[in-house]
Structure 1
Amino acid sequence: MNEKLIGNNWQARKVENNYIVIFDDKAEIKDVLMDFISNRGIKKGHFSGIGFLKNAVLNCFDSITGKYTDKEFKGLIIAFDIFGSILQLENQISIDLRMTFKFNDEIFYDNHLLKGKVYEKIEMIFYSADTQKVIFTNKISLPDINDFSYN
């Protein structure tokens, strides 16, 4: 099935249980994420994508102070990897949104994206975990460290 969907500042295609979503120019990325998630009724899952942002605020690790601080980036941001997860806790949807990006010839790895505007477009794929069952067991099997066979 290849269902086409349109929402507030986004367009999507459903392919099996996943979605390919295109975010519109100048849209606030977190607003679009929340609109898409609520529109599709997604309660848990993960996503990844690429694209461009302009003027974003990220929570970055400062290696000098050893603390996380909010940092504003003004200008074009090239996002190599926008990724995160969706989780429902006590009937409240929560988004963990992270990004690896290039800004002024410097690369920043795995920072929390607090807000940012889409520049041109961003494309993401969403993997909804609503249809998957995860079963945990308390059995742990460790490898035999004395077994040197390659079978």
Structure 2
Amino acid sequence: MQYQKAENTYFIRIDKDEDLFHSLEEFAQQEGLRSGHLSGIGALKNCELGFYHLHTKTYDKKVFPHEAELLSLDGNLSFLNGKPYFHIHTVLGGPDFQCYGGHLFSAQVAVTCEINFRSFNSEVIRIPNEKIGLNHLNFCGLSPSSSY
């Protein structure tokens, strides 16, 4: 992995066979980042994607072992249990030109991955929200909204 910084924006390249999440977590720790937004393109393999069912509060998960074009990667950085946590959704394209996507649990870089990361000055944390069954973004120490 290599990256370059300009003001509050980083341009990141993650290389073939590197673990996407491990690389991003290492980057966040090295730079002391507390929150931000990321987007990216490239190619991934061994991707585990998920679809969340609110009524059961569970994910259906599927692993896609083959190489796929990373058509869109979008997500954010927050903190969960005191550690950097990247919440990423992605759309992938296969050799048949079909697309599939969802919550990204894990992936390796197949060719290259090019990410634009914009850091924010404030720390954003995640806390459990029992109504939706997920760890919810929490701003300024506020309790989860009761609007669900």
TM bin (shorter chain):
0.7 to 0.9
Deviations 1:87-127 (A, max 9, x none): 12553322101101112432124x11111110121000110
Structure 1 residues 90 and 76: CA distance shift in structure 2, 3 A = closer
- TM-score scaled by length of structure 1: 0.71
Deviations 1:50-105 (A, max 9, x none): 0001121111368xxxx731101121111111111001255332210110111243
Q: Which runs of 5 or more residues in structure 1 are unaligned?
A: 1-9, 136-151
- Cross-structure match for 1:11: 2
- TM-score scaled by length of structure 2: 0.73
Could you tell me how far apart the structure 1 residues matched to 2:18 and 2:80 are?
26
Q: Which runs of 5 or more residues in structure 2 are unaligned?
A: 124-138, 141-148
Could you tell me how far apart the structure 2 residues matched to 1:20 and 1:29 are?
15
- Cross-structure match for 2:84: 93
- Cross-structure match for 1:41: 32
Structure 1 residues 60 and 131: CA distance shift in structure 2, 3 A = closer
- The count of aligned residue pairs is 122
- Cross-structure match for 1:142: none
Instruction: Work out which of the residue numbers 90, 94, 107 in structure 1 matches 2:99.
Output: 107
- Cross-structure match for 1:123: 114
CA RMSD of aligned residues (A): 2.6
Could you tell me how far apart the structure 2 residues matched to 1:60 and 1:106 are?
18
Identity of aligned residues (%): 25
Do the aligned residues in 1 keep the contact of 2:50 with 2:62 (CA within 8 Å)? yes
Report which of the two structures shows the higher radius of gyration computed on alpha carbons: 1
Instruction: Work out which of the residue numbers 47, 50, 56 in structure 2 matches 1:59.
Output: 50
- Cross-structure match for 1:31: 22
